[in-house]
Amino acid sequence: MSPDQAYQYVLRLLTGRDYTVAGICRKLAARGVDEHDAETVINRIQREGWLDDSRYAERFAASAVSSGRYYGARLRLEMRRRGFPADVVNDVLTPLLAESDEISEVRSAVERRYSGFSYAVASDRDKRRVVGFLQRRGFGFSAIMQALRAEA
């Protein structure tokens, strides 16, 4: 694949959704583009503003927190798994998590998933189920317990 074909391929990919630089590198390698050509294409795409890990990381993290999909340590893990550089992850998550209230996020996640759940009257099995769900989402145990007990 020539560099021009690789460039067109990357543009087609980016019209569908955002990618990290690492994700584009993987896609180009899978197509048989050599490293030098891939680096040239990626630099061109970045110069033109089509590919920006920071911008994508901000949108991904804000969406994950607002939807209740991931929070805290789980969000950090998911972002690293998707190929975001560690410095970008730290730059994005530090202010985002500082400005959000973990306890209110826990309450909101419980209300979305388990509407009508009351910690005071729930069985031990239901309590474990809810706490496990929240921990898998990345919430800290102390914030979970504080939010659930405040509701009781």
List, for residues 109-129, the tens digit of each pLDDT value.
888 888 888 888 888 898 899
Residue 152 has pLDDT above 70, yes or no: no
DSSP-derived secondary structure letter, 82: T
Model confidence at 24, pLDDT cuts 50, 70, 90, reads very high
Cα of 104 vs its chain's centroid, Å: 19
Copy the structure tokens of residue 72: 């805290």
pTM for the predicted model, two decimal places = 0.75
The alpha-helical segments, DSSP class H, found in the chain are 3-16, 21-30, 35-47, 53-67, 72-81, 86-99, 102-113, 124-137, 141-151
* Cβ-Cβ contacts under 8 Å for 124 (sequence gap 6 or more): none
Terminal alpha carbon distance of the chain: 62
